[in-house]
Copies of this chain bind each other. A is one copy, B any other.
Amino acid sequence: MRVGIINVTGYAGSELVRILFRHPEVEIVSVTGRSAAGKQLPEVLPHLWQIDLPITRTIEEPVDVVFSALPSGASAEALAPLVDKGIKAIDIAADFRLRDPAVFHRAYNIEHPAPHLLGTAIYGLPEIHREAIKATKLVANPGCFPEAALLALAPAVRAGLVADDIIIDAKSGISGAGRGGQSTNIMDQYSEANENVVAYGLNGHGHQPEIAQEIADLREASSAKVTFIPHRVPMTRGILATCYAPLIDESMGKQAVWDMYQDFYRDEPFVRVTPEPPQTKHTLGSNFCLVYPTVDLQAGRLIVVSCLDNLVKGAAGQAVQNMNLMCGLPEEMALESLALYP
């Protein structure tokens, strides 16, 4: 299978190369960049010296599958002509995640550049939409925060365990902000990010409507009350989401909730319900999401902690999992690595 990667030079793009390099059915034939176009890949990313491909402005080779790791807006624009040609596409940007272009506009403050494709895109969370992913040619890879939050909440929300009043307090490593260049936020600089925790997105974050859309679907409702507050923590990779929701049946115990989650995810290759609260470091470099549900008995509240590597299960790994599904390959192919610990 011939694969192209649009905007390979960001963190999600280079992580795709790392993973696909080991994929027995894939050959990376074309990689693109913007400011780095004209260079060889290892000049920009020396850890990828074995993959000595030229970085071009656009996909210049015939491909069977294309990934885009461009920023939102630019991504749909670059993908649309390829999708229209029938090439299988996985968009790691946000462009095809929100079904409603008006919601997209509010969230990202740009007009949607390819609204005609919104109807065909499938939200690429296999644990919820596996069969639809297998059947589509355009997958919207979930955002890293929604990935963690939805895997934490799906079992409880679908089972109707909790009221429509969810809080997601998420903690992310700094790589979630992307690989800056001239546009780098001062907060991404080592000296400012180190030994520092800060909440952000307090006036709204693009991942909130994405989470709300999927939670509403799981509830079979038209909307969902979801507060989502992300935080930056001083580490490179990893997201931990702590989710809170009122239990409808306040007498429900910890074990009952845990068992229900275990049943829900029993056959999933990449979600593990853990016996103890999980650690982000237990997912480093791997495609696993760890989920730990419990109950605050005094407050009658469900609490679910989930974690994953934001660049793997939260981006490039999830994208490869989706590609495997779309192409009829074993879902776990190239994604079997265990976490790097410590």
Contacts and interface: CB of A to CB of B under 8 A. Distances in A.
A199 B305 contact: yes
Interface in A300-314: 301, 303, 305, 307
Interface residues of A, number: 81
A134 interface: no
Given A22-B336, A235-B234, A340-B340, A198 B280 contact: yes
Contact of A180 (B189, B199, B278): B189
Contact of A236 (B11, B194, B282): B194
Nearest to A192: B342
A18 interface: yes
Contacts of A182: 182
A90 B45 CA distance: 34
A154 to B, nearest CB: 19
A84 interface: no
A275 to B, nearest CB: 8
A66 B55 CA distance: 45
A299 B342 contact: no
A124 interface: no
B199 A242 contact: yes
Contacts of A336: 22
B192 A281 contact: yes
Interface in A161-192: 165, 167, 169, 171, 173-175, 179-182, 184, 186, 188-192
A192 B188 CA distance: 10
Given A180-B189, A184-B189, A340-B340, A198 B229 contact: no
A186 to B, nearest CB: 7
Interface stretch (A46-54, A57-65, A112-120, A136-144): A46-54
Contacts of A322: none
Contacts of A200: 277
Contact of A197 (B48, B188, B193, B280): B280
Interface of A: 11, 14, 18, 21-22, 45-50, 165, 167, 169, 171, 173-175, 179-182, 184, 186, 188-200, 202-203, 225-227, 229, 231, 233-238, 240, 242, 244, 272, 274, 276-285, 292, 294, 296, 298-299, 301, 303, 305, 307, 336-342
